[in-house]
Structure 1
Amino acid sequence: MRILIYSQHVAETQLKYIKELFKAIRDENIDIAVYLPYYEELKAQVPLSDDVILFETTEDFDKYKIDFVITLGGDGTILSAVTLIKDKQIPILGINMGRLGFLASIEKKFAAYAIQKLCRGMYTIEERIMLYLETEETIFGDEKFALNDFTLHKRDTSSMITIHTYINGDFLTSYWADGLIVATPTGSTGYSLSCGGPIIFPNSGNFVITPAAPHNLNVRPIVIS
């Protein structure tokens, strides 16, 4: 088994649990890959073996045959990891080192225990649908995948924008609003919910289109499949 450790930063309060996690991984003879920006910050504070794989890009998933991704942080860390994983369909195990842990639901004090369960096959995989963004111009670079939502938002101006919306090539409506949110079931509890959108069951396969501060009060969120 080979695991990628992904995080965005190292906090002093996390070090005890990070060391416990790496020890548990070594005890199970698991190959370790570490996301390079995280490794650069981590190496001065946590002893790492010389055979640690340094992981940089999405292409490295095929190169190093990663079986699982472990994220250390909160839900934001998982959302960030998704932009690296893209469509590789690698399972994510989220260990909550932060405050918000709806997706990263494993408490940090149980990190080592979670590794033991993982190695013994004592887990289930919950599939989540994602969004893929296609544009005529490559204005978003490689960050075209989203687990939560895509948002089309106005620039720093007092004016609203008009957004002409189509579904499968058929015209839906034109929104006059501050922006438009297209959210997955996972993202339905985030920004979309704050703008009045409904909560969608995670495995429903639906999406929700939610206008942000629309001018027309009759324009409401729409659930599509």
Structure 2
Amino acid sequence: MVETTAVVVIGGLPINKSVAKYLPHYDYVVAADSGLHSAIDLGLRVNLVIGDMDSVDPAVLVAAEINGVTVQRLPRDKDATDTELALLAAVAHGSRQIVLVTSGGGRLDHQLGVLSAMQHKALKDCEVSALWDTARIQLLRGPGLCTIHGKVGDVVGLIAQHGDATGVTTDGLKWALNEGTLEAHSSRGVSNELVATTATISLAHGQLFVIQPNALEA
């Protein structure tokens, strides 16, 4: 199976169209239900639309199908969200870099569900990130290293997931850590700042969301 880069687009508020210029070179695009509208607005070539189709415009869906887009219709009553199933479809296709795109907004449980789905065990060997309205989010799993870019003074948040994040070392952030621990359910990692245009975060054990709230143009 050839490894690919996938973009997974989900529904929400009207999409920030400037997001398109932040996308990596991609091979495969999955739209979750009404994420099809956002994908079209971004000018993406969609390969698969997946979901229960309760929020996508039927006419837009039919047009996509006529144009060769694969449509996978799922029952409304199921044990996973359309977003989770779209991410799993990207993995099944062979994608090892997955960028989720969303405008955010909508129900809080849906938004938390998106962050949870990004950490699905089936994605453990994938590089997972999100372009979330004006934010860039990277999921860092230990042992691992990520590099971020921005302007001096830009805000960066480091949020532990699923237990403590240990062996955290940063370079290029105002409040540096050297083999430090960011405890689960702690706000210690919120509101750090870049002191250089490039910074690195390394992690020995655990998981971190590395969040740049204003990395993208509005």
TM-score tier (shorter): 0.3 to 0.5
Higher helix share goes to which structure? Answer: 1
After TM superposition, the score normalised by the length of structure 1 is 0.37
> Under a length normalisation based on structure 2, what TM-score does the superposition of the two structures give?
0.38
Find the structure with the greater CA-based Rg.
1
